[in-house]
Structure formats: structure tokens, C-alpha cells
Amino acid sequence: MTGTAFSGITSFSPAWPIRSKHAEVLEIVTPSLCLALNRAMLNKESQGKFVGPMHALISKKQREILQWIYQGKTNWEISKILGMNEETVKYHVDQAMAKLNAKTRAQAVGRALEIGAISVLRPPSRESVIGTGKEKTD
């Protein structure tokens, strides 16, 4: 899928052996199914319709923090944006990583994207003021 902002791996494999005649059909149909699913997930009108029980796996705060990580922010930057302690951010990241069975932040973000917990289309919930040269001086 060139020219799109979304990529991923979708598996339609069953837990049982596939007969050769079915394998031929699946070989033809699977790429189209993956493409259709990816296009549907890119459609803003479809956002939120592909959430299942996996979406609820991580908390709203964990999703928000993973969305910021997806935007390239560090724990320190996220703590300043969200107005919380850096250790609290780290706690939420660690909890999300454990729930998503991820060993790295990047893997956690990838899994969150995969289950629809965060989106490539959805900007973070708060405006970033870190790294723009326009830090608040309240």
C-alpha cells in the first residue's frame, strides 16, 4: 500500500489446516480484504467502529500517553504537556506495555495502533508546546 499513512499486518489464518482449494481462494482474496480493511480504518467516518474488547485493554490515560509517544514525545515532554509527574507518565507507559505484551515503547505504540486504541489520524488531545520554542511561561 504505497501512498497511505497506514500500514500493518492483518492475518486471516484459521487455527485449522487449510485445504489446497481453499488456500488458492484465500491467496487471491486476502490481499483485497487487507486493503479494504486498511482503507476503512483510514476513513474518518469509520474511526471508532473497529473497536472491540481489545480497545478497552488499556486505560484512557494510557491511550493518551501512547498517542503522544506516537507523536515522538519523551516522558518528560508528555509530563509537561499533561501536567503530571514524569514518574506518573512512566508508570502509565509501563502499565500499557505490560497490558499490550510489549517490550519497547515503539512496540507498545504499534500494538495500540493495531487494536485501534490510538490512531494515525487522531492528533493528541492537547496542543504541544514542548520543543516549539513557544514554551509557556505562566
Q: For residues 129 and 75, what is the distance between their CA atoms, to the nearest angstrom?
A: 14
Q: According to the model, what pLDDT value does residue 49 have? A: 55
Decide if pLDDT at 70 tops 60.
Answer: yes
Q: Mind listing the pLDDT tens digit for each residue in 109-127?
A: 998 888 888 888 765 655 5
Chain centroid to Cα 101, Å, comes to 14
Decide if pLDDT at 82 tops 90.
Answer: yes
Decide if pLDDT at 77 tops 80.
Answer: yes
**Structural domains in the chain plus CATH codes:** 1-42 (no CATH), 55-115 (1.10.10.10)
Q: Mind listing the pLDDT tens digit for each residue in 11-44?
A: 555 556 767 777 777 777 777 766 666 666 566 5
Q: Contact at 8 Å (CB) between 135 and 119?
A: no
Q: For residues 23 and 20, what is the distance between their CA atoms, to the nearest angstrom?
A: 5
Q: According to the model, what pLDDT value does residue 117 have? A: 85
Q: According to the model, what pLDDT value does residue 34 have? A: 66
pTM of the model as a whole: 0.54
Q: What is the DSSP string of 71-127?
A: TT--HHHHHHHHTS-HHHHHHHHHHHHHHTT-SSHHHHHHHHHHHTSS-SSSPPSS-
pLDDT over 90 percentage in the chain: 32
> Letter for the amino acid at 7?
S
